[in-house]
Chain A
Amino acid sequence: MLRYTVTRTGLAAVQCAVVLVVVFALTSLLPGDTVDAVLGEQGTPQQAALARAGLGLDRPAAERFVHWLAALCHGDLGRSLVTGMPVTEQIAGRLAATAVLAATALALLVPLALGLGVLTGLREGSAADRGLSAAAIALHAVPEFVLGLLLTAWLSLDLGALPATAAGLMGLDVLTRPAVLILPVTVLVCRQLCDLARQVRIGIAEQRDGPVATHLRLLGVPERTILLRHLLPGTLAPAVQQFARCVDGLLGGTVVVESLFAVGGLGTGFVDAVQDRDMPAVQGYALVFAITAVVVNLCADLAVRGLTPRREGRA
């Protein structure tokens, strides 16, 4: 297990490094640079040249990347080319809102997915199962931004029941008006819920009538105990991996959801940074996203390995 953990962690570090190189290369390949974005129509060629020199954009991309990497080794993410603020500060200011969104979504996602998965898995083929599965597939087919627009139009603009956006609330401010979280969190949860609940349902349904469960029933063990002691643990390993993928999905979902509901979080920050070709900021966000995704998946893999009974002859 220890050797697996070490190699797997090493691999995770390599994955992060690859993400950073790829993101930098791709953003460099995009046409236009920060000076194009900030000066726009205004600005003479002389001003543009001065601005480029001032920002160090006249140096080759590879050199800038190496510089950035060297600073990163000292824990310095550099300064935003657009605002001149330290990137760490800029990201920290936006981290809270996204963390609140994602944490709330996860807190709802896990119990809901387990509940729905068990409910439908135990009654595979019943009307309830067919109805819920059909609803899940339908919901899954609706893109996040469409779902967001529909829910906003109906719940907040027609019925006036919920705030339409989180406009003007920065970072942890959203907690002062929790109602603003309901729509974005709903949109985030809906999509991931379908995947995760389906994974749980499959696991439960597969084992429900399996030899072990049947044997336990013959011994007179109560259904509840069979579910808690046997069915659920057997379902956990694949569900944990699906859960890790859900976290990746949530990260992607925040980009859409934050823009739609005007949440000043990491997603909108990342989009703005790419729009403005703000390299240090783009790299900073990419680093946060990469580390999150890689760490979650690493933990999931380790958990799965811990959950899977070891066969003979394996270390």
Chain B
Amino acid sequence: MDVPLYLRPRVDQPLASLLGAAPFLHSLADALGSPLNVLLPETVAANVERFRAVYRRHHLAGRVYFAHKANRSSSLVRRLAAAEPAAVGVDVASLEELRHALGCGFTGDRVMATGPKDPEFLWLAARVGATVNLDSLRELEQLAGLVREYGLGRVGVLLRLSGFECADHGGAGTRMLSRRSRFGTPVRDVEELLAAVERHADAVELTGLSYHLDTTGLEEKGRALEQCVLLMDKCRARGLAPRAVDIGGGFGVGYIADGEEWQRWTTALSEAVLGGRPPLTWRGHGYGLRNEGGTVRGSVALYPGHRPNAGPGYLDELLSLPAPVLGRGPGTLLLEHLHDLHIEPGRSLVDQCGLSLARVLEVRGTGEDATPYLVRLGMNAGDVSLEEHGVLMDPVLLPRGEPGKDDEGPVGVHLVGNLCLEADLITRRLVFLPRLPRAGDLLAFVNTAGYAMDFHAHHAQRQPLARTVAVEREGGSWRWCPDEDYWPITHPGGTPA
């Protein structure tokens, strides 16, 4: 075997010192079982501050809305509820998320309701004065009907738009294609939508326009933002007074610390697919790449693990882009037109906010050269759905006690889960660890708070679901409490903060 192909995670403070506190993490897992999710609520507040700094740099007003679906924890939402109300809101995509956000201390005026909406969800959102991010004409009519029928106050609404590539503003001879989305109303139908907003003016008040594009491409987003600014002008011309442009999320997270490692690994994947080196994955899985007559075809289905510019940096870059039609960067454009900016970062707002622990249950040799060891963990692929989201990251080994003298050096292992299913691999990739783990060690999957921690967790085969705890550093040690008992006004444990 040649040089180990590590994909070591980026770990910032305070997550790094938490990892350094291995005896603390072992005691938590001993008491609460494997798998176990550990959250750092203070970090989510620090992340909000980083986004706010970008707002300040561009002199922009508006809110950062946490996309609740990224993590179902209470501690994170409660910590955000305690942040500056004018600056921080929550984006909820279901009735239960809405109830949870309200229960965590968010008032209705700080809530944005998005996603597919049932009548109950719409009614409660309208009832508490949330802003509704309307997906379609039908939803607008349904909402207006509820407002009238139950005598509710006027509801602030954003119109979610899509299909920007079809608009007229593409510039001579250039058409920027976008991935088709299930959500939002195509820009070409905006007239009809605005007419409906006017018709239902007694029930709804247009407060802004929104979009969310599933892409890492800055130009596509910049172009959509510019078109929203042009459309805002159209709204004003009609006598409406929208104030905010909501550009959704998708600012990304850089998971891998070292770009070279990421590049070496992805190059090796191409080579392995072409047969130029042994497979890097269980049964030669190609992550979307395939070999057709000696040429690699297909596109790699992986999250871009090393992103030199993600999260707040990505937002800054987006706001600083030159704009194609009006010639000004999106940030300047919003500012000059006196528009507020709303964003809904999910993943990037909980960057570095937590980790998932799994106990090593068994280490087994396979007798094969290429994949010598299987390591069975006390978790399954649903508990840490890195694979499902295409995120490749090595876990951090937290040995129980001192390593033995005869421990081997770097070793490639396959991490398998606790389900009785062939497909239950924690990762399809051959994972390199600094040495072979032993039963009783812990593996820490870091930076899992965004979508990876509990997004796909399930009760199949009655394996235990992860419990979640919130932790906070105090001097040289760590305090913890169950996630559901965390309140930002007291330290974990109940003493006043």
Q: Do A and B come from one complex?
A: no
